Amino acid sequence: VQLVESGGGSVQPGGSLRLSCTASGVIFNIYDMAWYRQAPGKQRELVASLTSSGLTNYADSAKGRFTISTDNDKNTLYLQMNNLKAEDTAVYYCNLQRTFTYWGQGTQVIVSS
């Protein structure tokens, strides 16, 4: 199983980024999926989740700004992030969970003017 993330980078406050996480070696759409992030000196935290039945959940800090979605034909999980703030700066990780849990390698997001 391999999860490959992309889409991170540097952006000014108020900007947008779309993170992608492409999975291989799994039957993608039977997994519960999520995005986590870890800022320097802080614990990893849940940003958004999407169950295999289509239910979404967002951290309070992400509500109204971030959207989690999938393209099952491409085995890809997305996180659209709008109106980014400095406090969104972190390494973002995708996560697939069923019987086992799989993590991506992380992609860095820096929000700074």
The predicted structure's pLDDT at residue 83: 98
The predicted structure's pLDDT at residue 28: 81
Higher pLDDT residue, 48 or 1? 48
Q: What is the mean pLDDT of residues 73-80?
A: 96
pLDDT beyond 90 at 47: yes
- In this predicted model, what pLDDT tens digit does every residue of 5-46 receive, in sequence order? 999 999 999 999 999 999 998 888 889 999 999 999 999 999
The predicted structure's pLDDT at residue 39: 96
Query: How buried is 48 (Cβ within 10 angstroms: 0-12 exposed, 13-18 middle, 19+ buried)?
Result: buried
